[in-house]
A and B are shown apart, each in its own frame.
Chain A
């Protein structure tokens, strides 16, 4: 089955530790995205990548880092510099813009990160 997987579903970390959230897709999509969701805040864009080995900061990139070494994978590292990391993190992907009339994004199931 084609889709987006995020692991783990729930993640706990101690304050001051870095943690990496996994995102894998087998949809052959070029673009991938990371969002965080907080109560009442909607979905806020952290980083996005439209092609392998290239990525751009979103609206709230401070305290986060990403890599895009493979088309299928877009891991997100939450660093100790992120002041309020407890949130629900969502990964998404979308097909090439040239091949579609619009940019529908497909989302993974999310990872709930809790900092203790």
Chain B
């Protein structure tokens, strides 16, 4: 059963506009969330993260928002660039205890930024 869900398999955005990628989770024990970016035939690279004690984290063009009550997070990319075209994975970490620090990944969203 997917504990981390990315319900949009693809997103297409024009260059310069905002890209918003969404992620939902079901496990209230998750206390850390990460976004990874992946190009074809390469390993994912870490993009940005957020702790459950925060509701926003910003790094340059990338901002992640967390709504704990809704168990929802989103990644905003502003402005979007063609080089941002990749698959974006949302991941959650359950902290200490039952999940032993492992990450749970969503199925990914393919972002395409067109000129």
When distances are taken between beta carbons in the complex, the residues of chain B under 8 Å from A40 are 9, 107
- Do A42 and B102 touch across chains, with their CB atoms under 8 A apart? no
Tell me, yes or no, whether B101 is within 8 Å of chain A by CB.
yes
- Do B107 and A42 touch across chains, with their CB atoms under 8 A apart? yes
Tell me, yes or no, whether B103 is within 8 Å of chain A by CB.
yes
- Do A97 and B96 touch across chains, with their CB atoms under 8 A apart? yes
What total count of A-B pairs have CB within 8 Å?
60
Tell me, yes or no, whether B70 is within 8 Å of chain A by CB.
no
When distances are taken between beta carbons in the complex, the residues of chain B under 8 Å from A33 are 102
**Complex formed: what's the CA distance from A45 to B4 in Å?**
13
Tell me, yes or no, whether A64 is within 8 Å of chain B by CB.
no
Most buried by B among A101, A105, A107, A109: A105
When distances are taken between beta carbons in the complex, the residues of chain B under 8 Å from A6 are 43
When distances are taken between beta carbons in the complex, the residues of chain B under 8 Å from A108 are 43
- Do A103 and B93 touch across chains, with their CB atoms under 8 A apart? yes
- Do B89 and A50 touch across chains, with their CB atoms under 8 A apart? no
When distances are taken between beta carbons in the complex, the residues of chain B under 8 Å from A58 are 102
- Do A42 and B108 touch across chains, with their CB atoms under 8 A apart? yes
- Do B32 and A107 touch across chains, with their CB atoms under 8 A apart? no
- Do B43 and A109 touch across chains, with their CB atoms under 8 A apart? yes
The verdict on A31 contacting B101 (CB below 8 Å), with A102-B49, A110-B41, A112-B41 known, is: yes
- Do A110 and B42 touch across chains, with their CB atoms under 8 A apart? yes
- Do B103 and A42 touch across chains, with their CB atoms under 8 A apart? no
- Do B43 and A90 touch across chains, with their CB atoms under 8 A apart? yes
Residues of A66-105 whose CB lies within 8 A of B: 88, 90, 92, 94, 97, 101-105
1/0 contact string of A15-58 vs chain B (CB within 8 Å): 00000000000000001010100001111110010100000101
Partner of B101, one of A4, A43, A44, A97: A97
1/0 contact string of B3-38 vs chain A (CB within 8 Å): 000100100000000000000000000001010100
